[in-house]
Structure 1
Amino acid sequence: MEDWASSRVALVTGGGRRVGKAIATALHKSGYKVVIHCNSSKDAALEFANELNSQRSDTAFVVSGDLSKDVVDTCRRLVKEATEKWGRLDLLVNNASLFFLTPLDTATDQQWNQLMDTNLKAPYFLAQAASPHLRKTKGSIINMCDIIGEQASPPLTIYGISKAALIMTTKNLAIELGPEVRVNYICPGAVMWPEVEKEHHDDSFRNEWLSRTPLNAIGTGENVADAVLFLASPSSSYMTGSCIRICGGRSLRL
Structure 2
Amino acid sequence: MTDKDCTMPGTCHWGESKVALVTGSARRVGKAIVSALHKHGYNVVIHCNSSQAEANALCGQLNGARASSAHVISGDLSASVAATAQRLVAEAQAQWGRLDLLVNNASLFFLTPLENATERDWDRLMDTNVKAPFFLTQAAAPHLKATKGGVINLCDVIGEQASPPLTIYGISKAALIMATKNHAIELGPEPHLPRPPPPLLQEWLSRTPLGRIGTAEDVADAVVFLASPSSSYVTGSGITVCGGRSLRL
1:69 — aligned with what? 79
**2:88 is equivalent to residue 82 of structure 1:** no
Within 5 Å, give how 1:137-156 maps onto structure 2.
Answer: 137-156=147-166
Give the alignment's Cα RMSD to 1 decimal.
2.6
Q: Which runs of 5+ in 2 are unaligned?
A: 1-9, 191-208, 211-228, 235-239
Within 5 Å, give how 1:86-165 maps onto structure 2.
Answer: 86-165=96-175
Q: Give 2:48's match in structure 1, choosing from 38, 44, 48.
A: 38
Distance 1:225-1:68 versus aligned 2 partners, 3 A rule: farther
Looking at CA atoms only, which structure, 1 or 2, has the larger radius of gyration?
Answer: 2
Distance 2:104 2:167 in 1: 21
Within 5 Å, give how 1:192-207 maps onto structure 2.
Answer: none
Q: Is the 8 A contact 1:7 1:32 kept in 2?
A: yes
CA-to-aligned-CA distance 1:6-62 (integer Å, 9 cap, x gap): 620000001110000000000000000000000110110011000000000000000
CA-to-aligned-CA distance 1:134-183 (integer Å, 9 cap, x gap): 0000000000000000010000000000000000000000000011797x
Distance 2:180 2:92 in 1: 22
CA-to-aligned-CA distance 1:157-211 (integer Å, 9 cap, x gap): 00000000000000000000011797xxxxxxxxxxxxxxxxxxxxxxxxxxxxx
Distance 2:65 2:232 in 1: 19
Distance 2:56 2:18 in 1: 21
Number of residue pairs matched by the alignment: 194
Give percent identity, aligned residues only. 63
Amino acid at match of 1:4: T
Distance 1:127 1:145 in 2: 15
CA-to-aligned-CA distance 1:67-90 (integer Å, 9 cap, x gap): 001100100000010001000000
Q: Give 2:25's match in structure 1, choosing from 1, 7, 15.
A: 15
Distance 1:226-1:174 versus aligned 2 partners, 3 A rule: farther
